[in-house]
Amino acid sequence: MLNIKNLHASIQDEKQKTKQILRGVNLTVKPGEVHAIMGPNGSGKSTFANVLAGREEYKTEGEATLDGQDLFSLEPEQRATLGLFLAFQYPVEIPGVNNMYFLKAAVNSLRKQRNLPLIDAMDFLTLIKTKMKEVGMDEKFLSRAVNEGFSGGEKKRNEVLQMLMLEPRLAILDETDSGLDVDALQAVAKGVNSLRNKERSFIVVTHYQRLLNYIVPDVVHVMVHGRIIKSGGKELALDIEEKGYAWLEKEAEA
């Protein structure tokens, strides 16, 4: 489903100097697979996620196709139409915009672009209330502005709620587990696991191994200095938990 070849990404810093972040990432994700990407701070994991979603400040080189379509020729909303979803690490606040209204607008925007009928208001309300129960979110969050005044855990739950409502083909979770207490973590994992099926794929970017106890990955990759230096099964995550990243970096240099 997702094919990434030799992906490079760079950004201009405040002094207009080019900073290389991704240095040749290769990745193939088949339908139904869950891939975890781990790595130390600054390895490029978040950049990778944001570049796939279409963040404009990065300059990219290399190929990335989703279902055969060239991602880099598409605008962010077009990638969303293709079924790409990014759960942000630090979801932004949008004051004045009602959470429920926003979601309905997003759902309908995608339906419109896929030539599907728009969702009925009552159906939408019923659907969203069900999903909110799944992620353990109180209904009062529907009437609040998007992410405004939400705690870290509540913001992450809101991301998962949106994912449940938009039903993507490829969901990229950017450190969705950071800062969550155990209850929130379990709710988030439950939400993600409920979407797992043969057609849908996930890329789970995480800093802490803990999440992978709940969302068991098919493949684990380790990203260091903008490149995937090792891939393996779920045991790899446990190795890292024990030994840290240093041993891998040494291995890569050797």
Partner 1 sequence: MANNYIKQVVNKNYQYGFVTAIESDTFAPGLSEDIICQISKLKNEPEFMLQWRLRAYQHWRTMTPPRWAHVNYPEIDYQKIIYYSAPKAKKDGPKSLDEVDPKLLETYKKLGIPLHEQGRLAGVAVDAVFDSVSVATTFKGKLAEAGVIFCSFSEAVQKHPELIEKYLGTVVPYRDNFFATLNSAVFSDGSFVYVPKGVRCPMELSTYFRINAANTGQFERTLIIAEEGSHVSYLEGCTAPMRDENQLHAAVVELVALDNAEIKYSTVQNWYPGDEEGRGGIFNFVTKRGACRGIHSKISWTQIETGSAITWKYPSVILQGDHSVGEFYSVALTNHRQQADTGTKMIHIGKNTRSTIISKGIAAGYGQNTYRGLVRVLPTATNARNYTQCDSLLLGDTCGAHTFPYIEVKNPTAQVEHEASTSKIGDDQLFYCRQRGLRAEDAVSIIVNGFCKKVFNELPMEFAVEAQKLLEVSLEGSVG
Partner 2 sequence: MSDVVASHLGLEHFFEKNSHFTDKKWLCDFRAQQFKQFLQRGFPSRKEEAFKYTEIKNTALPAQSGLARPWQHSEKTAGIKKITPVILTFINGHFSAVLSETASLSREITLCPLSQAHEERVKSYLTREVDATRFPFAKLNAALMTDGLFLEIPKHVKVTTPIYLLFINTQQNHYMTCPRNIIVAHESSQVTVIEEHVGETAQHYFTNVVTEIHARANAHVDYYKLQDEDFTAIHVANVRVEQQQDSCVKTYFLSHGAQLAREDLTIFQRAQGTESYLHGLYSLSQDQQHIDHHIHVDHFAAHGTSAMLYKGILAKKSRAVFNGKVYVHPTAQQINAHQANHNLLLSADAEINTKPELEIYADDVKCTHGATVGQLDNEALFYLRSRGLSAREAHNILTLAFAEEIYSKIDDNSIRHYMRKRMGSHDQF
x/- binding map, residues 40-69, to partner 1, per CB under 8 A? -------------xxxxx------------
Closest CA to 44 of 157, 207, 231: 207
Query: 94 touches which of partner 1, partner 2, none (CB within 5 to 8 A by kind)?
Result: partner 1
According to the binding rule CB under 8 A, does residue 70 interact with partner 2? Answer: no
Contacts of 109 (CB under 8 A, 6+ apart): 77
- 144 is a site residue for partner 2 (CB under 8 A): no
Q: Which does 233 bind (CB under 5 to 8 A by kind): partner 2, partner 1, none?
A: none
Cα 66–chain centre separation: 15
Q: Structure tokens of 7?
A: 């992906």
Q: Is 90 in the site for partner 2 (CB under 8 A)?
A: yes
> Which span (8-16, 101-109, 161-169, 205-213) binds partner 2, by CB under 8 A?
205-213
Q: Decide: helix, strand or coil at residue 95.
A: strand
C-alpha to C-alpha distance for 229 and 25, rounded to whole angstroms: 9
**Interaction residues for partner 1, span 174-203 (CB under 8 A):** none
The residue whose two tokens read 């999903």 is 131
Report the 10 Å Cβ neighbour count for 33: 18
Q: What is the DSSP string of 152-171?
A: HHHHHHHHHHHHHHH--SEE
Query: Looking at beta carbons only, is 8 or 79 nearer to partner 1?
Result: 79
Positions in the binding site for partner 1 (CB under 8 A) = 53-57, 75-77, 79-81, 85-86, 88, 91-98, 101-102, 105-106, 109-110, 113, 145, 162, 166
